[in-house]
Amino acid sequence: MRRPRGAATVASVTRSRTHASLGAALAALSVIGLAAPAQAAFPGRNGRIAVSYFDDPGGGAGPARSGIALLRADRGPAQKRTDVLACTDDRMPPRECLRDYASPAFSPSGRLIAFDAGARIGVVRTDGTRRRLLPAGGTDPGSPAFSPNGKRIVFDAARSGAARAVRDLYSVAADGSGRARRVTRNAADPSWSVRGLLAFERPTNSTPPDPQRIWVSRADGTHAHAVSSGARSRPDFSRDPDFSPNGRRIVYFSVARSRLTVVGTDGRGTRTLARTTDAAQLPAWSPDGRRLSWWWGGIWVARADGTGAHRIATDRMGPMGSFSFSTNSPSWQPLPPFPATSRSGTGSVY
């Protein structure tokens, strides 16, 4: 998940203890533009859900733990997470030892996770081994997403270190060879579909209620066109695009509708999902296309139309309104057997 650019991270908010309630904290995060890595769902059977997390049971006294963990979609908030990457900090006060917004994104095989490692994009196996950092591009890279063949990773990066700097998309080899190259300008939160298309937010430096739309382009950034729209004559502030497993649909969060919305890659067939997705953000499609996951005060799972929602992780507030536990950035793991031809979307509802 992309961190709020030029703003405090969740851990920083936690340690400053400036929020009086969970609702106030979540509202504040929404205002500063919390956004997800739109990593896209790759077809397959539904595996576990990767999330970034921050866990501070001491309420600022330490030790605090942060990292990337795997959750079961069929379990509730009491389930035990499986850490992929994590670090524990027992300093007083605790410092940020792993990015709070680690932006986990599964590879098409489900065996690798790309993540925001700070100044670089990192790749790690799902068992936490063979961690490596990729060549940098731009400043403060984030929101990685794998290509449909798993050989490249697209990510966004700022043009400078200034607050709210415009971001561009870059592409780099997943094995770390070669340099990162710029794909398209003024774009953020990329998603790479099995049909070879990119979805992204544009522009990156606007704030609600100013317009921000979801765009779709070819993998090289050409033939870009907007696909999201407003509601009831209001311009939309759209974010968090995520491709369906067959690459035909995009789910995103519409501020104008205050709900998750689905649209075709040609901009047609816009459909607002069930009210259970009110204020839901950071959506991730399941590999079989039949379910969705998202963040809002925790991690939720529901049917693809937004009904039947249940929570699998719950954000908690500590003393003086600070976060004692927070989760972000769901990414759903694809498991074999995969469709014979990934472009066919076999086994996907959308």
CATH number at residue 29: 2.120.10.30
Sign of the dihedral through C-alpha 42, 45, 46, 49? negative
How far apart CA 251 and CA 349 sit, in angstroms, is 13
Q: Residue for token digits 């057997």?
A: 337
Cβ atoms 86, 312 nearer than 8 A = no
Q: Residue 248 pLDDT > 90, yes or no?
A: yes
Q: Residue for token digits 């968090």?
A: 240
Residue 135 lies in a domain: yes
Residue 321 lies in a domain: yes
- Please name the amino acid found at residue 52: S
**For range 36-56, the mean pLDDT:** 86
Q: Residue 78 pLDDT > 80, yes or no?
A: yes
pLDDT score for 58:
73
Residue 346 lies in a domain: no
pLDDT score for 14:
31
> What would you report as the CA-atom Rg of the chain, rounded to the nearest whole angstrom?
18
Asked, as a colleague might, if the bond just before 235 is cis with ω within 30 of 0, I would say no
The string of pLDDT tens digits covering residues 145-162 is 999 999 999 999 999 999
Residue 309 lies in a domain: yes
More confident residue, 16 or 328: 328
Q: Which residue stretches of the chain are H helix?
A: 10-16, 22-31
Q: Residue 341 pLDDT > 80, yes or no?
A: no
How far apart CA 79 and CA 214 sit, in angstroms, is 35
Burial of 194-212, coded b for 16+ CB within 10 Å and e otherwise, reads: beebbbbbbebbbeeeebb
- Of all residues in the chain, the percent with pLDDT exceeding 70 is 77
pLDDT score for 20:
33
Which of 70-79, 100-109, 173-182, 281-290 is predicted with the least confidence, judged by mean pLDDT? 100-109
Q: Residue 222 pLDDT > 90, yes or no?
A: yes
Total structural domains in the chain?
1
**For range 112-127, the mean pLDDT:** 94
Residue 294 lies in a domain: yes
Residue 188 lies in a domain: yes
pLDDT score for 324:
84
pLDDT score for 242:
97
Domain that holds residue 125: 10-337
Residue 3 lies in a domain: no
More confident residue, 345 or 281: 281
Q: Residue 273 pLDDT > 50, yes or no?
A: yes
Residues 6+ apart with CB under 8 A from 332: 41, 46, 47, 49, 50, 73, 106, 284, 285, 286, 287, 293
Q: Residue 348 pLDDT > 50, yes or no?
A: no
Residue 348 lies in a domain: no
Which of 27-36, 251-260, 275-284 is predicted with the least confidence, judged by mean pLDDT? 27-36
Q: Residue for token digits 């799972």?
A: 301
Q: What is the DSSP string of 208-257?
A: TTS-BEEEEEETTS-S-EE----BTTBPPBEEEEEE-TTSSEEEEEETTT
pLDDT score for 44:
95
How far apart CA 313 and CA 298 sit, in angstroms, is 5
pLDDT score for 145:
97
**For range 174-184, the mean pLDDT:** 96
How far apart CA 42 and CA 88 sit, in angstroms, is 32
